[in-house]
């Protein structure tokens, strides 16, 4: 019923938009030569464009996209600047989520030696949150004048996004494919989490994907949360392999989060620009992007993915 309801809503939007466009064309034809009337009609174009864009957004998303998103960010090459950069990315995604009306929940955050973070994981809850944020998978490069060294520096951070899967979605994971270890939590949370070995680290041996969770008070809860991340990763890996677009950098090995592997570059010096290396999309207002204005970059990637998916389906 949920699938049928979404399909009916899409058909209704398309029918209304088609009718509005046909009506607009008829009025333009009738008003030919009447400059004032034509100007009034052209003022309605942004509303029609918004309707087309809304349908394009729906075309970009697949049924697999309607999940909450689990986001992991790891600092890479660049030392202290990279740890600062990873924290900036967390702030960027939290602001984007807030603007979208999505709810967020921090799962774990490991502070850097001087400032920033070495890693963080958080949950983004909202319609198609995973569908939109999967466009952010990959290595993000920052070029700026360092506030630590005073020199122009390049730093990297890896972003991994997986779906927060329902329990009824089956993902096969064999016991011998997991390396599970427990440790004391190193973060805030009271004496309990620091005294007991409640933190859990899981390595999926075949891929090398690693996740650590220590936000919950019990080892059992942290293990369940970490396993959810692993399941989501394998789901995302399978989806990307179907689309022939899976990148090894997604795994999150920090040795790979460096030069030549970036999905997006944020340049703040000597000029300001954000460029998506996969789609070629460029935005001059880098500050707005870092404040969470990501829609144009996300949409450019998802539209490209949708076009490739459609092309592949046509060839098959």
Instruction: Convert the pLDDT of each residue in 23-46 to its tens digit.
Output: 888 888 887 778 888 888 888 888
Distances (CA, A) of 127 to 112, 192, 282: 33, 35, 27
Which class for 228: exposed (0-12), middle (13-18), buried (19 or more C-beta within 10 A)?
A: buried
* Cα–Cα distance measured from residue 39 to residue 278, given in angstroms and rounded to the nearest whole number: 39
Beta bridge partners of 125: 103
Closest-CA residue to 143 (of 133, 135, 151, 131): 151
Which pLDDT belongs to residue 261?
67
Rg (CA), the chain: 23
Mean pLDDT of the chain: 84
Contact of 160 with 254, CB cutoff 8 Å: no
* Cα–Cα distance measured from residue 136 to residue 160, given in angstroms and rounded to the nearest whole number: 7
Count the Cβ atoms, other than its own, within 10 Å of residue 110. 17
3-state secondary structure of 54: helix
Task: Please give the residue that has the higher pLDDT: either 170 or 148.
Answer: 148
3-state secondary structure of 146: coil
For the ranges 102-106, 231-235, 236-240, 243-247, the maximum mean pLDDT occurs at 102-106
Looking at the chain, which runs of residues are DSSP E strands? Answer: 68-75, 103-111, 117-125, 138-145, 152-164, 178-183, 199-204, 209-213, 262-267, 273-276, 282-283
Which pLDDT belongs to residue 190?
40
In total, the chain counts a number of residues equal to 316
Helix, strand and coil content of the chain, in percent to the nearest 5, comes to 50, 25, 30
Whole-model pTM above 0.95? no
Look at residue 47 and tell me whether its pLDDT is greater than 80: yes
Which pLDDT belongs to residue 251?
41
Which pLDDT belongs to residue 243?
64
Confidence band (pLDDT; 50, 70, 90) for 193? very low
């Amino acid at each position: 019923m949920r699938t049928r309801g979404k399909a009916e809503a899409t058909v209704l939007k398309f029918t209304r938009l088609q009718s509005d466009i046909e009506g607009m064309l008829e009025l333009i034809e009738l008003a030919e030569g009447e400059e004032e009337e034509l100007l009034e009609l052209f003022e309605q174009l942004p509303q029609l464009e918004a309707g087309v864009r809304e349908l394009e957004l729906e075309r970009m998303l697949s049924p697999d996209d309607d999940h909450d998103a689990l986001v992991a960010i790891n600092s890479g090459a660049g030392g202290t600047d990279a740890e600062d950069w990873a924290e900036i990315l967390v702030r960027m995604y939290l602001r984007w989520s807030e603007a979208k009306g999505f709810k967020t929940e921090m799962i774990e955050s490991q502070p850097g030696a001087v400032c920033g973070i070495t890693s963080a994981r958080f949950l983004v809850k909202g319609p198609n949150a995973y569908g939109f944020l999967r466009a952010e998978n990959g290595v993000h490069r920052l070029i700026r004048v360092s506030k630590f060294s005073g020199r122009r520096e390049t730093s990297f951070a890896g972003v991994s996004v997986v779906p927060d899967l329902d329990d009824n979605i089956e993902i096969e994971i064999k016991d011998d494919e997991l390396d599970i270890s427990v440790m004391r939590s190193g973060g805030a949370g009271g004496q309990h989490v620091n005294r007991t070995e409640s933190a859990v680290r899981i390595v999926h041996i075949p891929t090398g994907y690693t996740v650590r969770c220590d936000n919950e008070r019990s080892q059992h809860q942290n293990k369940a949360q970490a396993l959810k991340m692993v399941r989501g990763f394998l789901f995302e890996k399978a989806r990307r392999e179907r689309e022939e677009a899976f990148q090894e950098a997604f795994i999150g090995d920090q040795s790979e989060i460096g030069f030549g592997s970036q999905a997006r570059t944020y340049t703040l010096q000597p000029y300001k620009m954000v460029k998506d290396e996969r789609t070629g999309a460029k935005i001059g207002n880098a500050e707005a992007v870092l404040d969470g204005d990501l829609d144009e970059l996300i949409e450019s990637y998802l539209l490209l993915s949708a076009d490739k998916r459609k092309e592949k389906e046509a060839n098959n």
